[in-house]
């Protein structure tokens, strides 16, 4: 009798444990692991850690230029021998000839531009939300065409299409895109709605769009609008994306930075309150680690993300208030308002001042760019190799 009663109790306990396990999977369908932090600082300067940052070839740098110019939305873009610059002082766009260093004023935009994009032939510009509406296309002869009438806070240019968010309303605090993801031809024709009620920036890779909806769930959808699939839950927003993995921030978890493997759906927690940057074909995450006692490290630790989505600790180089300007050829270019720019050698940790880079306004494709806009009729650009 006692054995039978014991078996019943054991069965009840097992059933409860099974229910709890199922509930955990439903609440958090992606298994989350924490990156294996290096235990000894000496391990962070090994050849294995810096393997992905060795001498970068021109193909990787050209790919970076194209990717950032067509997808990020800045005030400086460059593809090949042509760069484009937006100057807010006079709301003008300039073309920059990389070979001879000359610049040419192309056009003035009455509503200005918060972001510009460049595909090598045309510039696409969007104004600040409160400055005006529209998506504008400017060719390298200076001809300006308004190709879309509505508001947008993000574009994503491909070889054939312009993807954008048709902005609906405006969040004055976060100032992020929200509304409907759309696509259109580069002349503004064939506008098509793809995904509605999105909240924050989207990213595209291999004909798939990754976005977060207003209900805070992360989705994957084909660029034709088919097969909309939920891939994660919570206040999670995409930062970077490539063939193998994406990085995202979880605002419900102390702004935790994660790596999500797109093939296995394995989810790796790297750290907190940090930033993600892509330089010369590599992804870097600079974050605060969770220490053994449960507190957050006051210093920031830099990680290099490998092709398979695993992260390797490099070291501590750029704390809060220090800009991580660029990383290439085993060197990190960091800077702050007090000390200017310094170069840190990843292999031995040696740091040296680099006054030549103090006034670089932009970093792209293995170069720093200084811009002298004291004379808006003839702005000067100096290109410095990193």
Each residue's pLDDT tens digit, 96-114? 999 999 999 999 999 999 9
pLDDT (tens digit per residue) in 214-265: 998 999 999 999 999 999 888 889 999 999 999 999 998 999 999 999 998 8
pLDDT (0 to 100) of residue 55: 63
Instruction: Name the DSSP letter for residue 23.
Output: H
As separate numbers, helices (DSSP H) first and strands (DSSP E) second, the chain gives 2, 31
pLDDT (0 to 100) of residue 8: 57
Is the sign of the CA dihedral 281, 287, 370, 368 positive or negative?
A: negative
* Integer Cα distance of 273 and 281 in angstroms: 23
Mean pLDDT taken over the chain: 89
Q: Is the confidence at residue 152, as pLDDT, over 80?
A: yes
Q: Collect contacts of 172-181 with beta carbons under 8 A, ≥24 apart.
A: 174/200, 175/129, 176/200, 176/201, 177/152, 177/153, 177/201, 177/202, 178/214, 181/209, 181/211
* Residue, of 169 and 108, whose pLDDT is higher: 108
Burial class, 216, CB count within 10 angstroms (exposed 0-12 / middle 13-18 / buried 19+): middle
Cβ–Cβ under 8 Å, residues 303 and 313 = yes
Residue 5: C-alpha distances to residues 2, 12, 13, 312 (Å):
5, 11, 13, 52
Average pLDDT over residues 72-92: 97
Residue 40: C-alpha distances to residues 211, 268, 285, 313, 314 (Å):
38, 21, 19, 10, 11
Average pLDDT over residues 330-341: 91
Run of H or E residues at 285: strand 282-290
Q: Is the confidence at residue 375, as pLDDT, over 60?
A: yes
Q: Minimal CA–CA distance to 327: which of 286, 369, 285, 280?
A: 280
Q: For 345, phi and psi rounded to 5 degrees? A: -80, 120
pLDDT (tens digit per residue) in 13-61: 555 555 444 443 433 445 677 777 754 444 444 454 444 445 678 899 9
Q: Where are the beta strands (DSSP E) in 233-349?
A: 236-241, 245-250, 256-261, 267-279, 282-290, 296-305, 311-315, 323-328, 331-336, 340-345
The tokens for 22 are 């199922």
Q: Is the confidence at residue 129, as pLDDT, over 80?
A: yes
pLDDT (0 to 100) of residue 141: 98
Is the sign of the CA dihedral 56, 57, 59, 65 positive or negative?
A: positive
Cβ–Cβ under 8 Å, residues 256 and 271 = yes
The angle at the Cα of 273, spanning 271 to 276, to the nearest 5 degrees, equals 75
* Integer Cα distance of 259 and 266 in angstroms: 8
* Integer Cα distance of 380 and 145 in angstroms: 27
Average pLDDT over residues 62-88: 97
Cβ–Cβ under 8 Å, residues 304 and 315 = no
> Which segment of 63-72, 151-160, 351-360 scores lowest on mean pLDDT?
351-360
pLDDT (0 to 100) of residue 42: 43
Cβ–Cβ under 8 Å, residues 233 and 259 = no
Instruction: Name the DSSP letter for residue 375.
Output: S
Q: What confidence category does residue 301 fall into, taking pLDDT thresholds of 50, 70 and 90? A: very high
Average pLDDT over residues 132-147: 98
* Residue, of 74 and 339, whose pLDDT is higher: 74
Burial class, 231, CB count within 10 angstroms (exposed 0-12 / middle 13-18 / buried 19+): middle
Cβ–Cβ under 8 Å, residues 210 and 193 = no
Q: Is the confidence at residue 81, as pLDDT, over 50?
A: yes
Q: How many CB atoms lie within 10 A of CB 330?
A: 18
Instruction: Name the DSSP letter for residue 295.
Output: P
Q: What confidence category does residue 11 fall into, taking pLDDT thresholds of 50, 70 and 90? A: low
The residue assigned the tokens 């300007």 is 325
Cβ–Cβ under 8 Å, residues 142 and 123 = no
The tokens for 324 are 């991580």
- What residues does 271 pair with on adjacent strands? 257
pLDDT (0 to 100) of residue 154: 98
């Amino acid at each position: 009798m006692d054995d039978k009663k014991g078996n019943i109790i054991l069965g009840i306990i097992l059933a409860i444990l099974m229910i709890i396990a199922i509930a955990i999977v439903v609440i958090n369908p992606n298994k989350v692991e924490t990156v294996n932090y290096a235990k000894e600082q000496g391990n962070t300067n090994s050849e294995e850690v810096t393997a992905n940052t060795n001498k970068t070839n021109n193909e990787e740098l050209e790919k970076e230029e194209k990717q950032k110019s067509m997808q990020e939305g800045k005030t400086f873009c460059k593809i090949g021998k042509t760069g484009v610059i937006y100057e807010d002082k006079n709301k003008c766009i300039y073309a920059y000839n990389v070979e001879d260093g000359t610049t040419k004023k192309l056009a003035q935009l009455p509503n200005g531009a918060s972001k510009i994009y460049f595909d090598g032939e045309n510039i696409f510009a969007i104004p600040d939300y409160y400055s005006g509406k529209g998506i504008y296309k400017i060719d390298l002869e200076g001809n300006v065409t308004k190709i879309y009438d509505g508001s947008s806070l993000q574009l994503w240019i491909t070889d054939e299409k312009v993807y954008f968010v048709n902005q609906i309303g405006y969040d004055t605090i976060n100032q992020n895109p929200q509304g409907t993801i759309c696509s259109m031809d580069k002349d503004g024709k064939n506008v098509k709605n793809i995904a509605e009620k999105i909240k924050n920036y989207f990213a595209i890779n291999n004909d798939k769009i990754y976005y977060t909806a207003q209900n805070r769930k992360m989705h994957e959808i084909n660029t034709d609008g088919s097969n909309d699939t939920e891939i994660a839950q919570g206040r999670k927003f995409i930062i970077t994306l490539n063939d193998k993995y994406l990085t995202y921030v979880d605002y419900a978890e102390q702004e935790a930075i994660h790596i999500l493997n797109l093939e296995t759906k394995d989810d790796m927690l790297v750290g907190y309150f940090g930033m993600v940057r892509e330089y010369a074909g590599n992804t870097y995450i600079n974050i605060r680690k969770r220490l053994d006692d449960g507190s957050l490290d006051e210093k920031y630790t830099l990680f290099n993300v490998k092709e398979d989505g695993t992260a390797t600790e490099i070291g501590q180089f750029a704390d809060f208030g220090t800009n991580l300007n660029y990383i290439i050829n085993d060197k990190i270019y960091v800077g702050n308002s007090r000390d200017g720019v310094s170069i840190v050698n990843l292999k031995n940790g040696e740091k040296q001042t680099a006054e030549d880079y103090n006034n670089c306004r932009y970093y792209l494709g293995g170069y720093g760019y200084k811009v002298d806009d004291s004379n808006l009729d003839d702005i000067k650009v100096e290109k410095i190799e990193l």
